[in-house]
Structure 1
Amino acid sequence: MNYTLNQLQIFLKIVQTQSVTKAAEELHLTQPAVSIQLKNFQDQFDIPLTEVLGRKIYITDFGREIAVAAENIINQVYAINYKTQAFKGQLTGRLKISIVSTGKYIMPYFLTSFMQKHAGIELMMDVANKNMVIESLENNEIDFALVSILPSNLNIEYLELLQNKLYLVGNTAIKTKKNAKPEEIFSDLPLIFREKGSGTRQTMVKFIEGNNLSVLKKMELTSNEAVKQALIAGLGYSIMPLIGIRNELQNNELQIIPVKGLPITTNWSLIWLKGKKHSPVSLSFLEYLKLEKSEIVKKTFSWYENY
């Protein structure tokens, strides 16, 4: 056999995602490249690793055993790299973070200097909706999660990073009546929701129900970017986090529509399971944030205070 580390990594990702397409996306490779490497890997075994039925790929029992072995090999390779760097006096290891989708506008800025300072750290950051993020945390698959709403069903500790503000947003072509009451505005506007499981949707629904508002029309989209593009195109309005629409506001593509009771304010918080035994890497990152978060907010998010 002559399989490569790259083939092991690709096959393991296919098993984890149950999809060649998703594996390609997460590995930042093209689908044909992943398919070729999968074929080359499978050709080295007399027993099938996968089966394709219709358009779906299934992993055989033998394939799952090979995936476990592949993961062990990959972990050993990482361990060798970490030990080499640790011998040189560098902080090494993995930092695993899961963030809600809008958190992509925030978390990188709290990571940059830390990652630049510690070249031996491997960052693994997953972006998903709130339900999936909390599930990863609950299963202890990650070190930290970034959320805008603290989970009520988990025993956690947290560190607040930045205030979260949510406004009613639409494109600039529509004019709303001055001093209109919330019920008047919402009865006239087609409203776009995020998907179920989204923290933004949860906040939006809570506001609508808390104010006994009736909604004219509903649409549902599965990402913050999709909602933004729909608003710019004039499909409707939505309650959105300010953090994700800075450029659109400055370019006059979107506007904030004044509504009594808005903005809704929560906090972007880094959370972890209470009692978690942090690795040296995650403990170092936590200490870094406690020392540097105020300066990062001041330097990067000063524009935020203008709204």
Structure 2
Amino acid sequence: MAGRLLREVTIRQLRALAAVQKSRSVTSAAKQLHLTQPAVTLQLRNLQALAGLPLIQRTGDGMLLTDAGREVLALTERIEAAISDCETTMAMMAGKTAGRISIGAVSTAKYFVPFMISGFSKRHPDVEVTLSIGNRQEIGTALRGYDLDFAIMGRPPADIDMNVHLIGDHPHVIIAPTGHRLARKSRIAPGELAGETFLTREPGSGTRGLMEQLFESAGIRPRIGLAMSSNETIKQAVIAGLGIAFISAHTVATELDERRLTTLDVDGLPVIRQWYALSRKDKVLLPPAQAMLDFLSTRGKQFLPRTNGRLRLTRSSIRKKRG
């Protein structure tokens, strides 16, 4: 029963035992620990009471440990080693050379976030990065629960005080099969899309919310077809001719390059939003996480997919800018 009380042991008591074992004298141990002899004696007495067994015996050769004392000494050595390891880790984390970072990203960002992590990891190879992918609602929930150091997404959650770090522009376009009836037409009025079937993301997706805002501002109610939780599925469905889609341009850069998809030159498009790295204001960030936030703020833009020259919507964009 007394042995169970060892969970109440203190590091001072263990160090007193180790010092006595090394010097075989309470007096010498006190000098080594910069304590008085009565203080060391009290530490040893309390430690033996917690162990419930004698830990030290007096001999002609000085103070020696009993078998029970040697077991406690082994515990001391393990604890000291763990403390030393922890000190090393803390120093590495303070120097931004090691540690862990937990990142969340909306699913649309999965096309470039791995490249950002790779760029950061080349500079900080001993920092472990964990990436969670979800829709806007899921990532917002993770932020509310303090599960993430920061998240990469668009508009910040309205109910959380956030530190906002801009990464770069995030264009949204309408994609269609290359043989679509409007594929070669310029200056398409939004009303001309009223008869089209739109393939959409699931409720809770930021892209879907942005699409609904676009339709509402244009005063149209297009036909909504399938709702899908994957941009990949939406792209394949559009290629197959099941409909058209409002989607992040960063998710279709490859398909536009390969001419498996095209963008429609709709007035008012692209809709430009921004990518941000967001962290809670009341979340304590250790140096590695702060280092990655700084990296994304200064260099994150270079990892965004390059869409200039791939989008068939420069005419509308140039007209808007000149106007």
Q: TM-score, normalised by structure 1?
A: 0.67
The secondary structure found in structure 2 opposite 1:305 is coil
Q: Which residue of 2 aligns with 1:261?
A: 268
Distance change >3 Å, CA 79–CA 265, structure 1 → 2: farther
Q: Does 1:183 align with 2:186?
A: no
Distance change >3 Å, CA 121–CA 191, structure 1 → 2: same
Q: CA deviation at 1:119?
A: 2.3
Distance change >3 Å, CA 291–CA 191, structure 1 → 2: closer
Candidates 112, 131, 138, aligned match of 1:106: 112
- Gap runs ≥5 in structure 2: 1-81, 312-323
CA distance in 2, matches of 1:291, 1:86: 26
Q: Which residue of 2 aligns with 1:135?
A: 141
Instruction: Describe how 1:1-307 pairs up with structure 2 within 5 A.
Output: 91-176=97-182, 178-184=186-192, 186-293=193-300, 297=302, 300-301=303-304, 303-306=306-309, 307=311
Work out whether residues 93 and 122 of structure 1, in 8 Å CA contact, stay in contact via their aligned partners in 2: yes
CA distance in 2, matches of 1:239, 1:144: 27
Work out whether residues 130 and 198 of structure 1, in 8 Å CA contact, stay in contact via their aligned partners in 2: yes
How many residue pairs match? The answer is 225
CA distance in 1, matches of 2:120, 2:176: 37
Distance change >3 Å, CA 79–CA 164, structure 1 → 2: farther
CA distance in 2, matches of 1:101, 1:80: 40
CA distance in 1, matches of 2:134, 2:275: 15
Work out whether residues 90 and 120 of structure 1, in 8 Å CA contact, stay in contact via their aligned partners in 2: no
Q: CA deviation at 1:262?
A: 1.1
CA distance in 2, matches of 1:93, 1:81: 13
CA distance in 2, matches of 1:253, 1:97: 32
CA distance in 1, matches of 2:214, 2:147: 32
Work out whether residues 250 and 305 of structure 2, in 8 Å CA contact, stay in contact via their aligned partners in 1: no
Work out whether residues 189 and 215 of structure 1, in 8 Å CA contact, stay in contact via their aligned partners in 2: yes
Which region of structure 1 is more displaced relative to structure 2, 102-111 or 234-243? 102-111
CA distance in 2, matches of 1:303, 1:282: 26
Work out whether residues 171 and 250 of structure 2, in 8 Å CA contact, stay in contact via their aligned partners in 1: yes
Work out whether residues 85 and 120 of structure 1, in 8 Å CA contact, stay in contact via their aligned partners in 2: no
Work out whether residues 200 and 224 of structure 2, in 8 Å CA contact, stay in contact via their aligned partners in 1: no
Please tell me whether Structure 1 or Structure 2 has the larger radius of gyration of its CA atoms.
2
Letter in 2 for 1:136: A
Letter in 1 for 2:308: E
CA distance in 2, matches of 1:120, 1:218: 47
Q: TM-score, normalised by structure 2?
A: 0.64
The secondary structure found in structure 2 opposite 1:303 is coil
> What's the CA shift string for 1:79-114, capped at 9, x where partnerless?
998766667777222100010001111222222222
Q: Which residue of 2 aligns with 1:52?
A: none
Letter in 1 for 2:194: S
Letter in 2 for 1:268: W
Letter in 2 for 1:305: N
Work out whether residues 144 and 270 of structure 1, in 8 Å CA contact, stay in contact via their aligned partners in 2: yes
Letter in 2 for 1:230: A
